[in-house]
Amino acid sequence: MDAKLNKDEVREAYRKSAPTYDIWSGLTESKSRQRCLEVADIKNGESVLEVAVGTGILFEKILQLNSTGRNEGIDLTEEMLSRARARAQKSGASGYVLKIGDAYHLQYSDNSFDVVLSSYMFDLIPEKDFVAILREFKRVLRKGGRIVLANMTKGPSWFNAVWQWLYKNRPSLLGGCRGIELKPYLEEVGFEKIRREYVIQMLFPSEVIYGVKP
Ligand SMILES: C[S@@+](CC[C@H](N)C(=O)[O-])C[C@H]1O[C@@H](n2cnc3c(N)ncnc32)[C@H](O)[C@@H]1O
């Protein structure tokens, strides 16, 4: 199934859901976000970019792990980003940048990050755009840099049909997310050492994907 919401509709969906976003996302996605951090294995002092920071749940943890490094976060939706800013400020961290930005056109030079992370964004994006966005992520990563992604995926059993039915009939209830599988696209773009983990939380199926820029 392909994405049902266009970019303006995605922005509108997250403008509306920003105040309650953390409740749903905490119940169904916290395990995979934690796994992203473990897999990314950020060393203090590295350059880290998070694309689609949302309300900044992951970004706050990145700031703790990388207090002496460069930390940048972007998101399409001001209402989500303002929550990320408040969260980062409350954490007492400094020296980070959080700004409006679009995954399709990263405003960073080539080879500028050690790690690029993004959680629960690709599952909103049309499949035809996966390769172009992954190429953008690869462009800004330095040689040997790591990409770490989490997204809703297809579950192996009966509840997959329930999520698919919901997406087909009420996509806004899922925040516009549907189950996808990203590994073949990372292969196509030329990432190496690709690993995929399946994570299930409250019957919500996610995958965590890791790759390295050769
Ligand atoms: C489901 S939320 C995920 C937020 C956060 N990463 C998390 O795991 O909680 C999706 C986020 O992706 C952002 N987004 C969607 N398309 C984007 C794009 N093209 N570029 C940057 N952010 C985007 C939305 O504004 C929203 O904040």
Q: Does the pTM exceed 0.85?
A: yes
- The answer to whether residue 143 is domain-embedded is yes
- The answer to whether residue 31 is domain-embedded is yes
pLDDT of 164 reads 82
- The answer to whether residue 134 is domain-embedded is yes
pLDDT digits (tens, 9 = 90+) for 100-113: 999 999 999 999 99
Q: At 56, which CATH number?
A: 3.40.50.150
Measuring from atom 27 of ligand 1, which residue has the nearest CA? 54
- The answer to whether residue 96 is domain-embedded is yes
- The answer to whether residue 67 is domain-embedded is yes
pLDDT of 140 reads 98
- The answer to whether residue 84 is domain-embedded is yes
pLDDT of 207 reads 97
- Any residues with Cβ below 6 Å from ligand 1, and which? 10, 14, 25, 29, 33, 51-54, 57-58, 74-77, 80, 102-104, 119-121, 124, 175
- Ligand 1 atom at minimum distance from 11 CA: 25
- The answer to whether residue 2 is domain-embedded is no
Residues of the chain with pLDDT under 70: 157
- The answer to whether residue 205 is domain-embedded is yes
- Ligand 1 atom at minimum distance from 104 CA: 19
pLDDT of 210 reads 98
Can you give the three-state secondary structure of the chain, one letter per residue?
A: CCCCCCHHHHHHHHHHHCCCHHHHHHHHHHHHHHHHHHHHCCCCCCEEEEECCCCCHHHHHHHHHCCCCEEEEEECCHHHHHHHHHHHHHCCCCCEEEEECECCECCCCCCCEEEEEEECCHHHCCHHHHHHHHHHHHHHEEEEEEEEEEEECCCCCCHHHHHHHHHHHCHHHHCCCCCCCCHHHHHHHCCEEEEEEEEEECCEEEEEEEEECC
Provide the domain limits for residue 147: 7-212
How many structural domains are present in the chain? 1
